[in-house]
Amino acid sequence: MKQWLKRITPNRAEIREHKHLRVFGKLLQDPNLWHLNRRSASGAVAVGMFVMYLPPLGQMLIAAGGAIAFRVNLPISVALVWITNPVTIPPMYYFAYLVGSWILSTPAQTFALEYWLEWHNWLNLLAPMTVGCLVCGIVCSALGYLSVQAVWRWNLARQIRMRRARYRAATSGVNTPSSKSHT
């Protein structure tokens, strides 16, 4: 898992040189932002999954700020906000709106493009959308964190089992003085 994460995440130079992330300057020098271990990866997933439900403007900056504040892996945090893109935003935010409407007990509007594009309707949609985005962000963040923790532990336990099996196989094939038969 660690090798796969290293392959798909941008490297330190790419992030430090990114035009929007230069704002953080020397804060990007913290080595904790670049470590890849269970704590930093699961924390980074939590930050990125929460930020992906925030309004799309400035998500990378918010994710980078969250990674710096919580001292978790910066590339993973920043990369995860790209889950929200022009294709995924409508269904994600409509689902968040439905969740917010359910929590606030307000009647939900169907997804009619004309209704959603009228700016004056956004006043009616703002409260349920905000509550829904916060709830969805918190739930996704917690599920992402717990999932990475579980997968990391499962992978570690699997590696330990394989290592023990290799050790047993190597030691069982070796003739020790006590294993020779006396005839």
Provide the residue range defining the domain that includes 70.
Answer: 10-163
Q: Running DSSP on this structure, what letter comes out for residue 82?
A: G
Tell whether 1 is covered by a domain.
no
User: If 0-12 CB within 10 Å is exposed, 13-18 middle and 19+ buried, where does residue 4 land?
Assistant: exposed
Model confidence pLDDT, tens digit, residues 112-133:
777 777 777 778 888 999 999 9
Residue 178 has a pLDDT of 52
Model confidence pLDDT, tens digit, residues 3-53:
766 676 666 676 667 766 667 777 777 777 888 889 999 999 999 999 999
What pTM does this model have? Answer: 0.75
Number of domains comprising the chain = 1
Tell whether 126 is covered by a domain.
yes
Query: What value, to the nearest 5°, has the Cα angle with vertex 140 and ends 107 and 77?
Result: 130
Tell whether 2 is covered by a domain.
no
Tell whether 177 is covered by a domain.
no
Give the integer Cα–Cα distance in Å for 102 and 94. Answer: 12
Tell whether 178 is covered by a domain.
no
Give the integer Cα–Cα distance in Å for 67 and 15. Answer: 13
Give the integer Cα–Cα distance in Å for 126 and 148. Answer: 32
**pLDDT for 179 beyond 70:** no
